[in-house]
Amino acid sequence: MRIVILLMLLSGISQYGYAAKKLKPFVLASSHGTDMNMVSTQTRKALKNAGFSIVGEYSPYSGARIIIVTSPYLKKAAEKSKMGGFGAVQRVSITRVGRKIQVAYTNPEYMANVYRMQDSLSVVAKKLERALGRRMEFGRTAGLTAAQLRKYHYKVFMPYFDEPYKLGKFRDHHQAVQKIEQNLARRVGGTSKVYRVDLTGNKTVIGIGLTKKCGADRFIMKSIDTDKLRSTPHLPYEILVSNGQVLALHPKFRIAQSFPGLGMIGSNSFFSIRCAPDDIKTSLLKIVN
């Protein structure tokens, strides 16, 4: 009996007979074809047929397209927690890698935990799988458990999910959103609007494309997204407007959540984009001023 218990502990099996499930940030749906336009059209159709609403789409750089979707279920789940708005959408990418087109998407269960949502989003995960497929989870990590994700931070002294940038405070929600929309339309600080999702309780999440200096989408991804399977669904960045307060996840958290196994130093590491957090903050501050 003692030997059995010891073996269970060593193998990571719980008292119920199961090892803690490990999650990765992205899901590879498929890798096929050579025609970006055809694959994009098929992907949009499949998402709509599965009940998702396409709220935005953009191409941050050549060979990459990102479709942002939501649904009534996602919105409802996002509204249940204080900063759940960051999980109100899922991102689907179509990326050319060599002669193949990779279709990938954010792993809903990973995002639900890293954003500390009450809902596991397993229902959303199943819908995306039925719509697009599910070949494998991936990301530069061996996988993280739900418990690890709910208290995730990259390294000691690095920011947590509940330590966001507080970019500004407005008199009311409408005023905040209106100001941000105006500045995004003017593309201040190299920003552009990708999507907007309004939630109940005076909460709005807005996706933002970035093109300025080290904070640019292209610069960051060309620097660190170099694996065979591309993590394109990391993009775009987003802000959350909640009762007039404008929040953004700290770049040192937001980037690390998608690249948890990325090295600290060396080529294609966090050191290679060390200038990004400050430039991202500078661009985001411009849209609230």
Neighbouring residues of 116: CB distance < 8 A, sequence distance ≥ 6 = 81, 83, 84, 150, 161, 162
pLDDT attached to residue 32:
86
pLDDT at residue 10 is higher than 90: no
pLDDT at residue 17 is higher than 50: no
Quick one: pLDDT band at residue 2, thresholds 50, 70, 90? low
User: How would you class 9 by CB atoms within 10 Å of its CB: exposed for 0-12, middle for 13-18, buried for 19 or more?
Assistant: exposed
Here the tokens at position 278 are 């400050």
Cis, peptide link before residue 236, omega less than 30° from 0? yes
Here the tokens at position 160 are 């947590």
Averaged over 32-45, what is the pLDDT? 94
CA 235, distance to chain mean position in Å, is: 6
d(Cα 127, Cα 143) in Å, to the nearest integer?
A: 22
d(Cα 158, Cα 192) in Å, to the nearest integer?
A: 28
Domain boundaries, the chain: 2-286
Question: What are φ and ψ of residue 122, in 5° steps?
Answer: -65, -30
* Pairing verdict, β 90-97 and 191-199: unpaired
* Pairing verdict, β 237-242 and 203-210: antiparallel
Residue 14 near residue 20, CB atoms below 8 Å: yes
Tens of pLDDT along 67-102? Answer: 999 999 999 999 999 999 999 999 999 999 999 999
d(Cα 247, Cα 165) in Å, to the nearest integer?
A: 6
CA 58, distance to chain mean position in Å, is: 15
Averaged over 124-128, what is the pLDDT? 98
Residue written as tokens 């920011």?
Answer: 159
pLDDT at residue 171 is higher than 70: yes
In the three-class reduction of DSSP (H, G, I as helix; E, B as strand; rest coil), residue 103 is classed as: strand
Tens of pLDDT along 93-111? Answer: 999 999 999 999 999 999 9
pLDDT attached to residue 54:
98
Q: How much of the chain, in percent, has pLDDT values that exceed 90? A: 90
pLDDT at residue 255 is higher than 80: yes
pLDDT attached to residue 262:
93
Averaged over 169-179, what is the pLDDT? 97
Q: How much of the chain, in percent, has pLDDT values that exceed 70? A: 93
* CATH class of the 2-286 domain in this structure: alpha beta
Averaged over 262-285, what is the pLDDT? 95
Cα distances from 68 to residues 23, 75, 138, 194, in angstroms, run: 21, 13, 19, 8
For the chain, give the number of residues: 289
Higher pLDDT, 2 or 141: 141
d(Cα 101, Cα 94) in Å, to the nearest integer?
A: 7
Residue 100 near residue 31, CB atoms below 8 Å: yes
pLDDT at residue 184 is higher than 50: yes
